Amino acid sequence: MKIVDRTGFDWDLGGLRRFADPIVFIGRALMSVIFLLDGYGKIFEYRDVAAYMQDYGVSRLLLPLAILTELGGGLSILFGLKTRWAAIALAGYAMLTAALFHYSFADADQAIHFQKNLAMAGGFVILAVFGPGGWSVDAWRGR
């Protein structure tokens, strides 16, 4: 018979399940912040962002869609409304922006942004699979 030491580093974190709903809410809030701030910033720096997009060969006509995706998706994730759809959309958006704007791995800053976008996409995929938790509009609506 094997004796398990539950006082060491590998003790069971199952007790965190009691706090799953507020923890998932905090996680959603943290995930949404970058999109809300960037979407808001794109409105007030519209010309500069449009020029940046054109420098990378992306039509400036897509900027309103980018703003809508960031603000709408960020708010949806924050409030937990249609969370799975928003998470799928933002995962795709993060991967797309990584591929379009952060592909120059010779530049360490761009490589970091590329990796950050992939990590965010992974987080959104997990959110799409496991859902928004109990502290969400989706849960309150019974979805």
Residue 94: enclosing H or E segment and its boundaries?
Answer: helix 83-101
Q: Is the per-residue pLDDT at 69 higher than 60?
A: yes
Region 62-88 average pLDDT: 98
Q: Residue 137 — very low, low, confident or very high, per pLDDT cuts 50/70/90?
A: very high
pLDDT 10s digits, 37-59: 999 999 999 999 999 999 999 99
29 within some domain: yes
122 within some domain: yes
Region 62-81 average pLDDT: 98
Region 78-107 average pLDDT: 97
Q: What is the pLDDT of residue 80?
A: 98
1 within some domain: no
Q: Is the per-residue pLDDT at 129 higher than 60?
A: yes
Distances (CA, A) of 37 to 41, 57, 67, 108: 6, 24, 10, 23
- The residues, ordered by sequence, that sit 6+ positions from 131 with a Cβ below 8 Å of its Cβ are 83, 84, 138
Region 129-138 average pLDDT: 96
Q: What is the pLDDT of residue 16?
A: 78
Domain that holds residue 49: 20-132
Rg (CA), the chain: 19
60 within some domain: yes
14 within some domain: no
For residue 106, the SS3 value is: coil
The Cα–Cα gap between 100 and 73 comes to 19
Region 77-81 average pLDDT: 98
6 within some domain: no
Structurally, the chain folds into a number of domains equal to 1
The Cα–Cα gap between 72 and 68 comes to 5
27 within some domain: yes
12 within some domain: no
Q: How many CA atoms lie within 13 A of 53 on its CB side?
A: 19
pLDDT 10s digits, 101-123: 999 999 999 999 999 999 999 99
